[in-house]
Each structure stands twice: as structure tokens, then as C-alpha cells.
Chain A
Amino acid sequence: TQLLEQSPQFLSIQEGENLTVYCNSSSVFSSLQWYRQEPGEGPVLLVTVVTGGEVKKLKRLTFQFGDARKDSSLHITAAQPGDTGLYLCAGYGGSNYKLTFGKGTLLTVNP
């Protein structure tokens, strides 16, 4: 079973601060995805990274895929209250159909 370990599990910061969320595994993934989930809703895809070493930016969010395709990070610059939510990493490993999810990082950005 391929596992994705996310850290930290909880993060509470003030508006304007920077933060990084980590997603690590001992297994290689063909791609990794980051989702954001708000209360009462399903997860929504933020980004997919496919190539080892790849960096993608989405406004104030920067996503990186490790060179060995075993880990990924999400960095948020100047966090805003609207960034509050559960951030989930997920990856396709041995199967193109079965997506493995990390346990998530619950981010709270206080005004």
C-alpha cells in the first residue's frame, strides 16, 4: 500500500504570514495532485504535478514535485483568510485509477 504522509496536520497562522505544507512518501508516484476542501463541500483540484523537479505557481501558491517523485510541497505566500481550508495531497502510484490521499493539513488563517 502506497502511503502519503502530510505535515503539519494542523496550522493556524496570522494573515500575511508564509507557510509550507509537506507531502512525503517512500513510494514513487507518477503524478501528485493538491486539492483544497472547504467545510460542507467536496475537494477541488488546485494543481497536478507530473515531472520530477517541477514547480507550478497559482497566484500566491507554489507547488513543487520532488526530483525522485516521492514528495511534494505547497508554499503559500502572504496567506489570507480566504486560504482557510483542508489541503489534501493525492497521488496515482501503481494504478491509473486508484488515487491515494494524504490525511490532509487543516489551515486556518486568522485576520
Chain B
Amino acid sequence: NAGVTQTPKFQVLKTGQSMTLQCAQDMNHNSMYWYRQDPGMGLRLIYYSASEGTTDKGEVPNGYNVSRLNKREFSLRLESAAPSQTSVYFCASRDPGPQHFGDGTRLSIL
């Protein structure tokens, strides 16, 4: 079972470029999440989708947008990347019970 799949695994962008991070889960989960993880900061919630058709802001939503394309897929978009958005991004899903995480996208913005 693949679980939660994130693409790409690594990406380098220049300041001002745009990019979409993809996430797909094959567990038929209703809820999906996007986090960022920075050194010494733990995981911080960017956006979440409690169910298909709904999205809500988390702790650090500024500079990001999301789309819940269908039950399986939840994408995160950076419209104009900034160096402060250099981080490791994790997608997760649950329904209910524990959150299942992907292996992350390592994003560097120069």
C-alpha cells in the first residue's frame, strides 16, 4: 500500500516563482492536511481539508493556497515563493484516528 504520496521529493525555486506540491492518499480518508517543518519548530499546520469540498486555514496559511481536487488529492500552491518558505512540507490524511504522513517535499527557495 502506498499510503500518502507526495511529489516532488525535492525542489529548488527562485524567489518569485510559483509551484504546486502534490499529495495523494489511497486510504479513502476524508481529512487531509498540509504542514511545514522547520528546524526547532516542530510541525506547523498550513491548511487542512476536513472533507472533500472544504478547506480551512491552519496556523501559518499566509503565502499559500490549497485545492482539494477530489477525495484522494490535496495540493498546496505557492504563488510567489519567498526564501522564508524554504522548509520541508508534509501532507497527511486521517479518517478518523491517527494521521498518516507522506515522506515530505524538501523545498529550497533561493
Report A's interface with B, CB cutoff 8 A. 1, 6, 9, 33, 40-45, 48, 88, 90, 96-99, 101-104
Contacts and interface: CB of A to CB of B under 8 A. Distances in A.
Interface of B: 4, 31, 33, 35, 40-45, 48, 50, 56, 58-59, 90, 92, 96-99, 101-104
B104 A42 contact: yes
Nearest to A33: B98
B40 A9 contact: yes
13 contacts: A33-B98, A40-B104, A42-B90, A42-B103, A43-B90, A44-B101, A96-B96, A98-B45, A99-B33, A99-B45, A101-B44, A102-B42, A103-B42
Contacts of A41: 103-104
Q: Which of A9, A44, A99, A102 has the most CB of B within 10 A?
A: A99
Given A9-B40, A98-B58, A103-B40, A43 B101 contact: yes
B42 A104 contact: yes
